[in-house]
């Protein structure tokens, strides 16, 4: 089956819709089963289970998963540690073959995987297939990287009697802790980088999206990954997370989630010894709109970034600083686009905005609306859509003219909520954009080259965009845009999807051989 690519996403037609709808029927037949954890290749059950719900219809149980605890995390870590020497010694060409086989299987089942994401996360079908496509390309790109650099082994300068080379070697065993919003792509990317480099993995998906995580395990298992190399455990973050932080047999962790949890990971994981913490921790992303901006492009780009996937992505645009000379034109256009969005069942082909992930997400949205109304004015939206059943549906919402020191600008609400404030200059816009403790993504709309250069030179963010109609602050792709954060948005300064990500799962050894 042909893989849907970065370029072909914009041209999906009737064949795509037919294939997606058939896959949706297929996935619905699998619902409400009980699923185990997998440790050392064996299915494992806990004393209790928890239910995985469809956020569009919370009464619809997708499956029941194990409420694993610290003892399960210990066993998974032990299994991964035992398997690691064999996995390391296989060498990177063999590991690449296993991962490429997994990518082939993902391609073969891309529509079923996308349908599951629609059911479990609430993504519309285009966002769902894009996530699956990104996961496939993450594997292929990281495989390409390790091959290009020949396993990260290279000769160094020496002499006639001394020959020296530098080698990057795996740390050992990594925990991979994935978020709910991109449960397939982000989990696949973190796990693939760890696995390709010779590390073994203990994988914990978010409790809102264990089904997507299970699919990753199944595909890697079918690709022939050896027993114990990839272990899948489910349960509460407090129970399993506590063991992941404390267990000294773990050699590293890759985490994507909130800044609050990410900072706890960084502090706790390294208490007893220095270990790599590769953490991506959210954003409060700004877009600056200057007088020469194309208003339609700018309003479309902000709308897609702010409201795509319900704003439940760390790259979502949540702050707009628009030049006062075009503020009314831009705001009117953005409000009109927001009001035209179809909110509804994400399984329907013309839905743009599906549900938020759970009740806590709705409460976070309502807190953001309340604060926006208190410190500014509500332009459109602001309500939970209670006439759409029990699903977690809310309106795309725009607030404006917030007090510059409002707490609104400090919190990541992770919902379809954006604030628009006016500025008098690019200087003011950059200063306000850079005040945030986050530094993930940022965008600008301007036709003036000097303003474009100044933006890229001075903005404090890891992924930056100029004049991007398809997403003012969103839309990175493996090998096209690297994606990661500065300041409180990331821990390493080396971004996923880019050329410097994979080496973070390795440590360097210099080897000098003296000949007599």
**Nearest alpha carbon to residue 194 among 510, 513, 512, 502:** 502
Give the 3-state DSSP-derived string for 85-104, with helices as H, strands as E and coil as C.
HHHHHCCHHHHHHHHHHHHH
Alpha-helical (H) ranges within 1-109 are: 14-28, 70-89, 92-108
CB 323 within 8 A of CB 449: no
Question: Strands, DSSP E only, in 250-331?
Answer: 252-256, 277-280, 285-289, 317-323
CB 305 within 8 A of CB 394: no
Residue with tokens 């990541």: 412
Q: How many CA atoms lie within 13 A of 275 on its CB side?
A: 25
Active-site residue list: 280, 314
What are the beta bridge partners of residue 417? 397
Sheet holding 49-54, edge to edge: 33-35, 57-66, 49-54
CA distances from 323 to 285, 331, 371, 376 (A): 17, 11, 24, 18
CA distances from 470 to 15, 125, 301, 339 (A): 23, 17, 5, 18
Which residues, 6+ apart, have CB-to-CB distance to 374 below 8 Å? none
Residue with tokens 């004015």: 377
**Nearest alpha carbon to residue 202 among 165, 170, 243, 238:** 243
What are the beta bridge partners of residue 317? 285
Residue with tokens 């027993």: 227
CB 232 within 8 A of CB 200: no
Instruction: Give per-residue burial for 145-183: e unless 16+ CB within 10 Å, then b.
Output: bbeeeebbeeeeeeeeeeeeeeebbbbbbbbbbbbbbbb
């Amino acid at each position: 089956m042909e893989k849907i690519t970065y370029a072909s996403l914009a041209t999906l037609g009737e064949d795509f819709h037919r294939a997606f709808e058939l896959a949706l029927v297929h996935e619905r037949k699998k619902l409400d089963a009980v699923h185990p954890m997998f440790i050392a290749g064996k299915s494992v059950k806990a004393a209790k289970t928890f239910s995985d719900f469809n956020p569009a219809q919370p009464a619809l149980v997708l499956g029941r998963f194990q409420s694993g605890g610290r003892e399960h995390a210990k066993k998974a870590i032990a299994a991964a540690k035992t398997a690691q020497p064999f996995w390391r010694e296989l060498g990177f060409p063999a590991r690449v073959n296993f991962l490429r086989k997994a990518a082939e299987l993902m391609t073969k089942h891309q529509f079923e995987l996308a349908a599951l994401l629609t059911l479990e996360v609430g993504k519309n079908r285009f966002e769902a297939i894009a996530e699956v496509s990104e996961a496939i390309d993450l594997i292929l790109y990281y495989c390409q990287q390790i091959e290009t650099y020949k396993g990260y082994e290279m000769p160094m300068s020496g002499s006639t009697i001394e020959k020296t080379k530098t080698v990057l070697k795996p740390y050992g065993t990594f925990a991979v802790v994935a978020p709910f919003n991109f449960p397939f792509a982000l989990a696949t990317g973190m796990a693939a980088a760890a696995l390709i480099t010779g590390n073994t993995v203990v994988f914990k998906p978010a409790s809102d999206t264990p089904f997507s995580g299970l699919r990753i395990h199944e595909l890697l298992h079918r690709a022939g990954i050896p027993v114990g190399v990839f272990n899948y455990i489910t349960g509460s973050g407090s129970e399993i997370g506590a063991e992941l932080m404390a267990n000294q047999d773990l050699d590293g962790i890759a985490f994507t989630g909130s800044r609050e949890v990410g900072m706890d990971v960084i502090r706790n994981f390294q208490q007893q010894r220095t270990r790599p913490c590769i953490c991506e921790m959210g954003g409060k992303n700004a877009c600056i709109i200057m007088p020469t901006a194309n208003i339609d492009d700018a309003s479309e780009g902000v709308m897609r970034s702010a409201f795509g996937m319900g704003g439940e992505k760390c790259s979502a645009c949540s702050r707009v600083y628009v030049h006062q000379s075009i503020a009314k034109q831009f705001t009117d256009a953005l409000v009109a686009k927001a009001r035209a969005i179809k909110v509804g069942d994400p399984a329907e082909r013309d839905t743009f905005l599906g549900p938020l992930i759970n009740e806590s997400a709705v409460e976070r949205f309502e807190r953001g609306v309340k604060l926006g109304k208190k410190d500014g004015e509500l332009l459109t939206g602001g309500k939970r859509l209670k006439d759409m059943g029990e699903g977690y549906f809310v309106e795309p919402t725009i607030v404006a003219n917030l007090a510059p020191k409002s707490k609104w600008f400090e919190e990541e609400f992770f919902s379809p909520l954006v604030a628009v404030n006016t500025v008098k200059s690019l200087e003011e816009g950059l200063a306000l954009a850079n005040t945030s403790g986050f530094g993930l993504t940022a965008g600008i709309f301007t036709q003036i080259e000097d303003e474009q250069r100044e933006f890229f030179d001075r903005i404090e963010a890891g992924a930056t965009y100029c004049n991007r109609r398809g997403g003012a602050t969103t839309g990175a792709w493996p090998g096209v845009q690297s994606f990661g954060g500065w300041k409180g948005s990331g821990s390493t300064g080396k971004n996923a999807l880019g050329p410097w990500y994979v080496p973070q799962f390795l440590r360097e050894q210099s080897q000098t051989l003296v000949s007599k």
